[in-house]
């Protein structure tokens, strides 16, 4: 927009000003306006300052997208699936965003953990030394049990590429639980659901491992019988 004295505004109509704003480079606009006013008989002190305000809407839009992304990943987590929008906002208020560079380590195997991590953007790997167990991308999480116990981390976590993670600390998590019993009950049920699902998965894996072991043992026994030398 334009800040000017009446020594300028008296010689230029609004329509012409709009055209000049559209046609003239920003760094030359002020002098162009002053020159025109002088050419048309400017008799007063002529002052003109052209001010460009950054597009505030783009910043607002970016912030809105970031908040929506955080709310979306929180809502998709089994731990928070029973919370209302207002309750999710309370959880969101205790989070922070942690940026990571490629190969930067987030978690060290064996360290005591007290944070839950949710991947917002990027990709991280769960590993022990050079052995990689899995990769986690946007919306996936790790470390939710660190919110309720102090067990050592079972693996290390590092960034495969520049990444951003949403972080919730145990002390902030418990602060919400102490202050809001409704949220506490919902989170308790969610934790029970998560533990039940993990126990069910573990039992299935143990059953499959047992069946596989029996198959291997049976195959080895059969092989031994078939290859054993015949007795005379």
> CATH 2.60.120.10: which residues of the chain?
60-188
Phi, then psi, of 134 in degrees rounded to 5 = -165, 170
User: Does residue 158 or residue 26 have the better pLDDT?
Assistant: 158
For the domain bounded by 60-188, which CATH number is listed?
2.60.120.10
Q: How big is the chain, counted in residues?
A: 232
Task: Indicate the pLDDT class of residue 3, thresholds 50, 70 and 90.
Answer: low
* Burial class of residue 138 (count of CB atoms within 10 Å of its CB; 0-12, 13-18, 19+): middle
Q: What digits encode the pLDDT tens for the residues 164-212? A: 999 999 999 999 888 888 888 888 888 787 777 767 777 777 777 676 6
User: Does residue 61 or residue 93 have the better pLDDT?
Assistant: 93
pTM for the predicted model, two decimal places: 0.61
Residues 6 or more apart from 192 whose CB is under 8 A from it? none
- Roughly what angle, to the nearest 10 degrees, separates helices 181-227 and 85-92? 80
Judge contact between 172 and 117, C-beta under 8 A. Answer: no
Q: Over 90: is that where the pLDDT of 124 sits?
A: yes
Tell me, what's the pLDDT at 102? 95
Q: Mean pLDDT of all residues in the chain?
A: 80
Measured CA to CA, the distance from residue 220 to residue 224 in angstroms comes to: 6
Report helix, strand or coil for 153. Answer: coil
Q: 200 to each of 96, 136, 207, how far by Cα in Å?
A: 32, 22, 11
């Amino acid at each position: 927009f334009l800040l000017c004295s009446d020594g300028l505004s008296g010689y230029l109509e609004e329509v012409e000003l709009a055209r000049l704003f559209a046609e003239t480079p920003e760094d030359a606009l002020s002098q162009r306006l002053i020159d025109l006013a002088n050419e048309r008989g400017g008799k007063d002190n002529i002052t003109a300052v052209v001010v460009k305000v950054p597009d505030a809407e783009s910043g607002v839009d970016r912030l809105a997208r970031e908040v929506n992304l955080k709310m979306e990943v929180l809502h998709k987590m089994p731990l928070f699936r029973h919370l209302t929008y207002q309750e999710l906002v309370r959880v969101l208020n205790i989070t922070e965003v942690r940026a990571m560079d490629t190969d930067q380590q987030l978690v060290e195997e064996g360290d005591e953990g007290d944070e839950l991590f949710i991947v917002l953007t990027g990709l991280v790997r769960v590993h022990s030394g050079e052995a990689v167990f899995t990769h986690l991308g946007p919306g996936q999480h790790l470390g939710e049990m660190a919110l309720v116990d102090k067990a050592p981390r079972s693996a290390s976590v590092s960034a495969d590429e520049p990444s951003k993670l949403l972080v919730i600390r145990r002390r902030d998590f418990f602060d919400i639980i102490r202050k809001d019993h409704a949220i506490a009950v919902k989170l308790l049920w969610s934790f029970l659901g998560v533990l039940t699902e993990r126990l069910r998965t573990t039992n299935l894996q143990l059953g499959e491992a047992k069946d596989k072991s029996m198959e291997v043992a049976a195959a080895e026994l059969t092989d031994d019988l078939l290859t054993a030398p015949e007795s005379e």
